[in-house]
Structure 1
Amino acid sequence: MSHFHYQNGELYAEQLALSEVAAQFGTPCYVYSRAALQAACDSWQQACQGRDSLICYSVKSNSNLAILHILAKQGFGFDIVSGGELRRVLAAGGAAQKVIFSGVGKSREEIRFALQQQVACFNVESASELLRINQIAGELGCRAPISLRVNPDVDAQTHPYISTGLKENKFGIAYEEALPLYRMAAGLPHLQVHGIDCHIGSQLLDDAPLLAAFERIALLVDTLAAEGIHLQHLDIGGGLGIRYTSDQQPVPVGDYLQHLFARIDAWRARSAHTQALRIVFEPGRSIIGNCGLLLSRVEYLKHGAGKNFAIVDAAMNDLLRPALYQAWHEVLPLQQHARAAQLYDIVGPVCESADWLARARELALQEDDLLAFMSAGAYGMTMSSNYNTRARAAEVLVDGAQMHLIREREQLDSLFALEKIPF
């Protein structure tokens, strides 16, 4: 992460010392680098240059309005999984006509609102959802653009909680059921069959599963064309991984897209019906993951016979990934010191044994030291909560030597402002 670096023993984001962010806005605090975000955007757009494609950023990975606004100005579309995310995209200046609506449990209200806003397409995940969209579109006097999210039964070789492409996963439509469901969709009066979608999982370090999924989906597209069902786009999903640890070597975005487009070119050479097919992507983590970090302060050091604990002011409610996925985030001190290092488990103040952020890290710590949990731009703030009545963190965007508060820290009174005592 070159946009986060040490300078004279102090950790910087671009040209700004992170200690200045902590001094002004406190901790815990999420910090994002605009230059890192721009570089990630450029890598995707340059790799797609000259191709009929649409890059739909996965809003669930980081939904801050400032982040979405930057992406919208770059020409990105958006992949959403709720009506709330659609409202965020619109509030940030995004175009509904560049929105793909995914998710297994779309409510009637969400479908109606999305149709009224004229979203680009619904990724449909069940026969019941297909019928519901058709009914609501009929009530509104329109035709709903749909794709089927087809489950190719490909093992993403990732954590089971973020694997979505196998038969046992709740996501998508079974591969063998897709053809009859497309036939049904083509016959419903208030639907327009636009495309096909698949997404096999997240934090994929190898592109082989993604390429295998594409091959299965391409075969289905050919079968559909032979039946007179011609698609306008193929959505290959997202899920490309990022580097969390030094031994992880994820496939670079440019390499993955080069490999994928080579497969697509070979397919197009033998299948005339694919010439006008737009390719859609749904990246999230690979854009925002390494653009952000979480700042935290050491409250107490607790030394025991079997283990040392560094108790910090951030907790599992701020960064859930370690407790939920046993995820690794590199931990860096904001000030480098020549003190003797010890092994610490870094834990938070939440009343749960699962409240840990890092284990067995060799650090030279004192109480009141500041730490940065790296690679926290994706699924950090968006998965945070108010558990233990804790206010969610502030968010700050660094641009060169400037810092901008893009989300204020919650006030404790606001956490129960909507609650009523009925007696």
Structure 2
Amino acid sequence: MKSIATVTAALTRHGITFLMGLAAGLPLLLTVSLLQAWMVDAGISLEAVGMLALLGVPYTLKFLWAPLLDRYELPILGRRRGWLALVQILLIALIVALALSDPALAPGWVALLALGISFLSASQDIVIDAYRREHLPERELGVGSSFYTYGYRIGMLLVSGGGMLMADAIGFGNTYLVMAAIMAGCLVVTLLAPEPHSHRPAERGRLRDTFIQPISNFLQRPGAWWLLLFILLYKLGDSVASNLTIPFYKAIGFSNAEIGATAKIFGFWPLLGGIFIGGLIILRLGIYRSLWWFGLLQMVSTAGFIWLNHVGHSIPALAAVVSFENAAAGMGTAAFLAFMAALTDKRFTAAQYALLSSIMGLPRAVISAPGGILAEAVGWDLFFLICTLVAIPGLAILWYFRQWRDITDGAR
């Protein structure tokens, strides 16, 4: 009877984690692909649509206000659920306002609403990451990261795939109303979920300390700067390579339809499979050893693009490379998120996790930008070889600091 109760409690925790991941993934593409399609259909210039990329800035700067969500506690629902409920209520309101707007008549107003959604979505990420770290036992962080990533990806798919289909059937405005209704369901999950144990009451000391203490606390641990460098480097090669996969596919002769069907829709399922298998392996091997194996798999999967460049236009070869790369990326992401969660001090969960996730996102958001210049200069073979070899420094740091296993052993 006790074991059944234990399993039920674990499933409940991971069910909540999955649904919160869905809530985090849903708003992301509401201000990217779906909004871009809406504005193009409304006749907005390509230059203006391109500027929508700036809506992603709050996701890279969220560490700036994350400490405030650690410091202050709202009078109801607790420190985590209180903020999460407020942010989700505001998100629903802005999504409804966007649904009732017209990009053709008021593009500036639509862009402002989208910026507000982006800021609130980044804030929601901060709170959900902190909630997951505090709600899950140490030994379940790896599996929990897999459930979270599952939900996150499905939330994105609801918007990128389902949203585009709905837009053709019922219009963009009604599609955004449907997305607001789904967010309302996520709000219900927040209201019903338990509040995790608070490891530090909201403080009323100097505001300056709110921003300094989380960083100084992290930097005081041995090898802190090496930890930050590892977080920057671990998925660097994978991120730089994946940033240019679409131009690469087109360069070797694949059509848009072939890329969409094979690389996007077909490749989605190996990604989910990789996340699931990664969670099971983490449970068995622990986070540290999993990072090793998944890092090596990411290297091999990146090198697969070199092979594809020599095979040329072949749907089976494209499917094989995409499947392997997505599966390896899913495994690596599950272990990486669990590793970052294990690094955070529960007194400063929101601030420290936001800082680490911002560093993790630098390769994708900033460092990948000049990748096209490199590929143009050296060719695809050497470009992907460089991306493969770039993974070695991160793995070397992981090998040298074997004592990091002590940090993650409790998360097995």
With the length of structure 2 as denominator, give the TM-score of the two structures.
0.21
Q: Which has the higher strand share?
A: 1
With the length of structure 1 as denominator, give the TM-score of the two structures.
0.21
Q: Which has the higher helix share?
A: 2
Q: Which has the higher contact order (CA 8 A, sep 6+)?
A: 2
Which of structures 1 and 2 has the bigger CA Rg?
A: 1
